[in-house]
Amino acid sequence: MSHSLARIFAILALPLLAACAGTAKQKAPEAVPGYEGVQDAEFFIEPVPAKYLQDGNIRTEVSYSGPEAPGTVVVDTFARKLYLVGEGGTATRYPIAVGREGLAFRGSGVIGRKAEWPSWQPTANMIRTRPDLYAAYAGGLPGGLQNPLGARALYLYRGGRDTMFRIHGTSDAASVGHATSAGCIRLFNQDAIDLYNRVPNGTRVKVRTEAESLAIEGPQMLNAYGHMVPATPENEAKKAKQAEMLAKQEARDKAAAEKAEKKRLAACARRGIPDAECLPTQAVSVGTAG
């Protein structure tokens, strides 16, 4: 091949090389240890985004001063925490989401049954009060990523009977740490698997009253992210900073959305499509029912 031909081929190849360089994938953010993506049976559980693991909203080994014996599961719906009591004044603390059904139970029971990727069926009361949400699932929903019970479920029994109180996983990671409209006690799927593997059937479960929560956890407050944290002057000051940061992020998101909308309408205009007929791409969302 002559020098001139080689030079021509090299010039022609430059755009191709540039295109290849431009399609390089960006490095995915590192997962938080303990909350990485998990292949479990035929389902892949996505990693929990770090933004949902702030302000104590993460599985942690802590000191524990409660009166319960090691091996007991303690649920505090007011502080939105679950404890697996360990030896020597320690416990594993898990963040939880709390729904109406979770607030209805007090006292003690035992784990009477456990299930991996459990099926779910709404109660008659759920169907009656919110048929728009639950009527379609009256016949039940098999286990899977869209099932509101998530990857694992622990069923609380008392006197040999199912109390309808559940401790379970969820694919709705954003809900953990918050009070929700429905469901019992939700954990990140990764935490639900961890707890499931550590507690056998027959494990005692204690659900605190508000007075018990206040005596052990102390006064609580909501921070700017909607998570329960100790009510301290430091957390009050932190909340103000968080609120300011969230407001700035909201403004940036709004500006980005407006810019994207203008680009979308401009693209339609170039194709001769009127604004009224320039339909946005519809994202499919699946609600969390339980």
pLDDT tens digit at each of 290 positions of the chain? 444 444 433 433 433 333 333 344 555 567 899 999 999 999 999 999 999 998 889 999 999 999 999 999 999 999 999 999 999 999 999 999 998 766 778 899 999 999 999 998 888 887 898 898 888 888 889 999 999 999 999 999 999 999 989 999 999 999 999 988 677 899 999 999 999 999 999 999 999 999 999 999 999 999 888 888 899 999 899 888 888 888 888 888 888 888 888 888 888 988 888 878 887 754 433 344 45
Helix H or strand E segment including 112: strand 107-116
List, in order, residues 6 or more apart from 167 with CB less than 8 Å away.
73, 75, 82, 153, 154, 156, 184, 185, 187, 192, 195, 205
- Answer yes or no: do 59 and 186 share one domain: yes
Give the range of the structural domain holding residue 94, as residue numbers without chain letter: 50-219
Tokens 């709004």 map to which residue? 254
Clarify whether residues 198 and 250 are in a common domain: no
CATH classification at residue 70: 2.40.440.10
75 and 214, same structural domain? yes
Do 89 and 202 have their domain in common?
A: yes
Q: Is 184 a catalytic residue?
A: yes
Marked catalytic residue, from 3, 20, 178, 184: 184
Same domain, 148 and 271: no
* One domain, residues 60 and 95: yes
| Residue 52 · residue 174 · CB < 8 Å | yes
Domain assignment present for residue 198? The answer is yes
| 62/198 same-domain check | yes
What global pTM score does this model have?
A: 0.77
Question: Catalytic one among 168, 178, 227, 278?
Answer: 168
